Amino acid sequence: NKDWIIGLISTHDYQLCDFEDEPGGRIKNYHFIETYSDDAIQFDYRLRSGPCKTSNARYLMRMIGIDILD
């Protein structure tokens, strides 16, 4: 038993967050908060409990010139 071993995963697949609810599971969700200004995204790099509540995909698309409909 190696309790000191951890793995980290970063994903845009929000369904993976549901693994935290599995019985006997050891998976925990954490996230960063991002802020937007002009053509930049800043991350605070402070781990917070729970899955993220935001998505930056639309902002990133606008940053590189892809027009999207809201």
What is the domain count for the chain? 1
In-domain check, residue 54: yes
Instruction: Identify whether 1 is part of a domain.
Output: no
Question: Domain for residue 3, yes or no?
Answer: no
Q: Which segments of 1-70 are extended strands (E)?
A: 30-31, 34-37, 40-43, 48-49
Residue 40 lies in a domain: yes
**pTM higher than the cut 0.75:** no
Q: Which of 13, 18, 44 is nearest to 31 (CA)?
A: 44
pLDDT band of residue 33 (cuts 50, 70, 90) is very high
Residue pLDDT, tens place only, 5-19? 888 888 878 899 999
Evaluate whether residue 5 is within a structural domain.
Answer: no
Long-range own/partner contacts, residues 19-22 (CB < 8 A, 24 or more apart): 20/51
Would residue 55 count as lying in a domain?
yes
Is position 34 within any domain?
yes
Which two tokens mark 36? 């937007």
Mean pLDDT of the chain: 87
Tell me the per-residue pLDDT of 51-64, one tens digit each, with 9 for 90 and over: 988 888 888 888 88
Q: Tell me which residue range forms the domain holding 55.
A: 14-63
